[in-house]
Every structure is written in C-alpha cells, then in structure tokens.
C-alpha cells in the first residue's frame, strides 16, 4: 500500500474518481494506492523529486522488506520547532548537536555528513544579499519620508510665522523655537514609524496565517530589537529632516514675523 502525491495522482494515474483497484508498479513491486496527498505548493524554484506532489510514500518496514532488504539508515531529517530567536543561530546549534550525537554513537568515527554544512556559505550569502536589499529599501524609504517631513515642516513654519513672532515678542528664545519644531518633527516621524511597525506586524500575521493554511505549521515571530530599531530610525529621521525648518523658524526676526501676512 502507498500514498501518492497530487502530481502523481493527476498525471501518472489519470486522477480516477475512486481509489478502488488503483495501483502502480515501482522497482518490480506492485503498490496499491490507498490515499492521495493534498497539493503542496513548492517554496523553492524549479521542479524536482523533492516536491511532495511527486512523491510516493510507503511504510518503512514494507520498503525495507520489499526493496532494500536491509535496515540501514541513509538519511535522517531533523525539523526545528517554531520558537523565537535567530534562525541561522538555531540551525548552526542544531547542526552541531546532531553531528556530535551521530559521531558519539559511531564511537568517534566521523562517517556522517550534515547537509547543512555544504550549503552553509551559500545560505549565508543568500541571507546577506536579502538583508542588504532590505536595508537599501529601508534607507530609500527613510530618505523619501524625510523629504516629505521636511516639506511638511517648511509649510508649517510658513503658516505659523505670526505665531513664532508672538512667541519671540513674549520672550521665547531662538533655542526654544528650534526645540519646539524639532519635537514636532520627531513626533510626526515617530507616529508614522509606529503605524508602519503595526502595519508590518499585521501583514506578517496575515501572511503566517495564509502560509499555515497552504503549507501547514507556520508561526509568525517578531524581533523586539527590530521593532525598537524601526521606531528609533524613524524618529531620528524626523529630527534630522526637521533641522532645516526648525533653524529657519528660529532665525525669524520678531518684527518681520509679526508683519507676515
């Protein structure tokens, strides 16, 4: 008896309406089909036998008795349970633990190979490229947002010129005017950053629910340091972008500001 993937069921067996009497022959052994796996969209690019839709699953004892005629173990699959923390660090820690356990069981003989070791450098390169692209996108977003905040603050200074003149006439110093507009600029950017963080968390949550429905277990994780960095960078961008408008407001002469229409 066996369970086949969706593509095997559709293309090889012709997708019959009933499983009764459906069978296939592999390595000279006839296998009766008793079930069909739900279609699983691949996450990686390119077709291959690793795709669940192209697999035929049988019990290990039946496979060993009918085809292999041995109880030798060639491959062990290890799956990490969802948890917080760096994925790369957890993979490295688990890889080292698995390798040490196998070598210890083999009496110190290193006759095993962990698949992650071969692709570790390539994996790190992929993560580096993804991180650089994300940083570039974030920097571009901060630059565009900073320009918008600067324009908003310049318009605000122009509309509140008489208010600035009144404050200066009542004894406000240029420094207090400068701090006021810098604070307003930081608040605008901080609120925008908070909305962005909340929107990003909501999007990650929805994507996790969608992927869990399509592929199975998929948990959303939020890194506190990433949230803190996002809020801090948006606030700093607001302060830097508001420097020139605040400087212009602080340099206004009280008499000229009071005459402004």
Q: Which of 73, 91, 107 is the last residue of a domain?
A: 73
Q: Which residues pair with 29 in a beta bridge?
A: 26
What pLDDT score does 108 carry?
79
22 pLDDT exceeds 80?
yes
The pair of structure tokens assigned to 115 is: 């698949």
Assess whether pLDDT exceeds 70 at residue 121: no
User: In terms of domains, do 41 and 141 share one?
Assistant: no
What Cα–Cα distance (Å) separates residue 80 from each residue in 85, 89, 130, 159?
Answer: 12, 12, 22, 58
Could you tell me if 215 and 136 lie in one domain?
Answer: yes
Q: Is the model's pLDDT at 45 over the cut of 80?
A: no
Full-model pTM? 0.55
The helix (H) or strand (E) run that includes residue 209 is helix 174-215
Quick check: 261 pLDDT over 60? yes
Selected residue with higher pLDDT from 16 and 72: 16
Task: Say if residues 237 and 196 touch (Cβ distance below 8 Å).
Answer: no
Strand order in the sheet with 56-57: 23-26, 29-36, 2-4, 56-57
Tens of pLDDT along 165-212? Answer: 888 888 888 899 999 999 999 999 999 989 989 998 999 889 888 887
Position 15 pLDDT exceeds 80 = yes
Question: Are both 137 and 197 inside the same structural domain?
Answer: yes
How many structural domains compose the chain? 3
The verdict on 65 and 96 lying in the same domain is no
Tell me the residue range of the domain where 59 lies: 1-73
**Is pLDDT at 164 greater than 80 in this prediction?**
yes
Res 54: pLDDT: 83
Phi, psi of 76 (to 5 degrees): -120, 130
Same domain, 99 and 185: no
Residue at which a domain ends, from 118, 150, 178: 118
The answer on pLDDT for 64 being more than 80 is: no
Where is the domain boundary, 102, 118, 134?
A: 118
pLDDT at 198: 92
Query: Given a cut of 70, is residue 14 above it in pLDDT?
Result: yes
Query: β-strands 29-36, 2-4: how paired?
Result: parallel
pLDDT of residue 247: 92
Q: Looking at the structure, tell me whether residues 97 and 27 fall in a common domain.
A: no
């Amino acid at each position: 008896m066996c369970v086949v993937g969706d593509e095997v069921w559709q293309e090889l067996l012709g997708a019959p309406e009933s499983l009764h009497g459906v069978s296939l022959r592999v390595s000279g052994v006839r296998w009766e089909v008793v079930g069909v796996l739900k279609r699983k969209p691949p996450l990686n690019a390119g077709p291959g036998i690793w795709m669940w839709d192209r697999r035929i699953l049988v019990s290990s004892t039946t496979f060993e008795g009918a085809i292999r005629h041995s109880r030798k173990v060639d491959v062990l699959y290890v799956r990490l349970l969802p948890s917080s923390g760096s994925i790369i660090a957890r993979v490295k820690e688990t890889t080292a633990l698995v390798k040490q356990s196998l070598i210890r069981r083999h009496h110190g003989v290193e006759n095993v190979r962990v698949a992650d070791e071969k692709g570790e450098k390539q994996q790190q390169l992929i993560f580096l490229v993804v991180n650089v692209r994300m940083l570039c996108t974030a920097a571009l977003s901060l630059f565009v947002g900073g320009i918008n905040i600067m324009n908003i603050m310049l318009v605000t200074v122009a509309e509140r010129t008489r208010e600035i003149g009144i404050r200066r006439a009542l004894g406000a110093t240029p420094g207090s005017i400068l701090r006021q507009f810098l604070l307003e600029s930081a608040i605008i950017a901080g609120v925008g950053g908070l909305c962005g963080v909340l929107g990003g968390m909501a999007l990650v949550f929805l994507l996790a629910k969608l992927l869990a429905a399509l592929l199975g277990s998929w948990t959303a994780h939020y890194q506190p340091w990433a949230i803190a960095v996002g809020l801090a960078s948006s606030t700093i961008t607001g302060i830097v972008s508001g420097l020139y408008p605040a400087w212009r407001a602080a340099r206004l002469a009280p008499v000229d500001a009071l005459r402004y229409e």
